[in-house]
Amino acid sequence: MNDELNDLLEKHGLKKTGPRVKVLSVLKLRDTAASQPELEEIIGKEIDRVTLYRVLTAFEEKGIIHKVLDMNGTAKYAVCDSSCTDKQHKDEHVHFNCTLCLNVYCMDTLHIPQLVIPAGFTSQVVNMMVYGICDKCNLKLKG
């Protein structure tokens, strides 16, 4: 797996540093998006807070991860589709924010419906967030 991470960094022209490999490996293993504070808690003081922010920013700029804002306005990050580059993100999928566990899921199979917006306005990116109860929380409730 470490090879895979190194390749991904190299492919996007980023130096293979300890913090970058670590952050990328954590994000790759998750099925929900992670914020800087969450990553800080997972990784511990091994990586500086500021470095974490800068790693995330670098990854986003290169198209390795994409940013989603949760219901509190906190930035959360998830790994991108492999077709993303520094020129263009192709993550036009719906996101789901669980109101119980607060996790943010990438609904990779749900693409965002087309919209006809009013004359005069120009659309660049569209963002769709569904708030509700996720599958795991529903199981806990009903089970």
User: Is 118 a binder of its own copies (CB under 8 A)?
Assistant: yes
58 binds, options Zn ion, its own copies, Mn ion, none, Cβ within 5 to 8 A by partner type: none
Cβ proximity of 97 and 130 under 8 Å: yes
User: Is 135 a binder of its own copies (CB under 8 A)?
Assistant: yes
User: Is 101 a binder of Zn ion (CB under 5 A)?
Assistant: yes
User: Is 78 a binder of Mn ion (CB under 5 A)?
Assistant: yes
Q: Which residues bind DNA (CB under 7 A)?
A: 14-20, 35-37, 47-51, 53-55, 57-58, 73-75
Task: By CB under 8 A, name the one of 18, 37, 92, 132 that touches its own copies.
Answer: 132
* Interatomic CA distance for residues 113 and 126, integer angstroms: 9
User: Is 65 a binder of Mn ion (CB under 5 A)?
Assistant: no
* Interatomic CA distance for residues 128 and 61, integer angstroms: 21
29 binds, options Mn ion, its own copies, Zn ion, none, Cβ within 5 to 8 A by partner type: none
* Interatomic CA distance for residues 46 and 18, integer angstroms: 10
Stretch that binds Mn ion, among 20-28, 54-62, 99-107, 123-131 (CB under 5 A): 99-107
Cβ-based neighbours of 89, under 8 Å, separated by 6 or more: 63, 66, 80
DSSP, collapsed to helix, strand or coil, labels residue 93 as strand
